[in-house]
Amino acid sequence: MIVSVHQPQYIPWLGYFDKIAKSDVFVFLNCVQYKEREFQNRNKIRTDRGWMWLTVPVLSEGKGRQMISDVRIDRSIDWRSRHWKSLVSWYHAAEFGAEYLPFFEDAYSREWEKLVDINVHIISFFLKILGISTKIVFESALCVTTTRTARIVDICRALKAETYLSGAGGKEYLDEGAFSAAGIGLMYQEYRHPVYAQRFAACANEFIPYLSAIDLVMNEGPRSREILGIRA
């Protein structure tokens, strides 16, 4: 059994879903520290001039040593309207805009209190339309208290994992010996970003990679699964 983990991100990029699809169990790391200026509360979408950030504002207390599960959204800022208007502006004319925009219209009509809740809600939507059936587990359900590599090893033990699938960046900080000592295999994700029919990109040289998965599904719809190389 292959296990992978990651913090719940806001409208994640394609590599996030590639990792989930290649795992038997995926764990939302909701009990680790929130990190500012990463992808837990923001991501990029395509515009006619390049790309732009969509950022969910969080209360200042969420920028300290809070767990991701405790981070609260700053509801004094009208970010939901801004994000919705941005999606309509840049994706209403995309081939599958009419099919998928209603989900986001509904999502942005809701009053979200915690960042993790809207993140998981949107990730679940992407998993459904991409046909990814990987089992999802929350770290908070596993009662793991260790840190760093030991935390990942203990998550794998709790789930009886045979192999841990890490992002490529794990090569820089994981203690590989800890996995072998625990009898757990270690693999690193090898992800090559696909090129697809992206609105505003008249040729391959104008294609912008590493955007939110919104960009792929709005442009390619049901073809997205094949483009990502997800197997049945």
Domain membership of residue 24 (yes or no) is yes
Nearest to 123 by CA among 3, 219, 13: 13
- Order of strands across the sheet with 163-166? 135-138, 25-28, 2-6, 163-166, 185-188
pLDDT for position 170: 93
pLDDT for position 64: 60
pLDDT for position 202: 87
Residues of the chain short of pLDDT 70, as ranges, are 62-64, 232
Domain membership of residue 138 (yes or no) is yes
**Residue 38 half-sphere exposure, CB side, CA atoms within 13 Å?**
11
pLDDT for position 204: 82
Nearest to 165 by CA among 12, 18, 31: 18
Domain membership of residue 182 (yes or no) is no
pLDDT for position 63: 57
What are the residues whose beta carbons fall under 8 Å from the beta carbon of 155, sequence distance 6 or more?
3, 5, 27, 139, 142, 144, 161
pLDDT for position 70: 94
Domain membership of residue 180 (yes or no) is no
| d(C-alpha 94, C-alpha 100), whole Å | 10
Domain membership of residue 97 as a residue range: 2-168+198-228
Q: 227 and 14 in contact (C-beta within 8 Å)?
A: no
One-letter amino acid of 41: N
How many domains would you assign to the chain? 1
| d(C-alpha 225, C-alpha 232), whole Å | 10
Domain membership of residue 177 (yes or no) is no
Domain membership of residue 193 (yes or no) is no
Q: DSSP per residue over 48-81, as a string?
A: TTEEEEEE--B-GGGGSS-BGGG-BB-TTS-HHH
pLDDT for position 62: 53
Burial tier of 223 (Cβ tally within 10 Å: 0-12, 13-18, 19+): middle
Domain membership of residue 175 (yes or no) is no
pLDDT for position 232: 64
Q: What is the pTM of this model?
A: 0.95
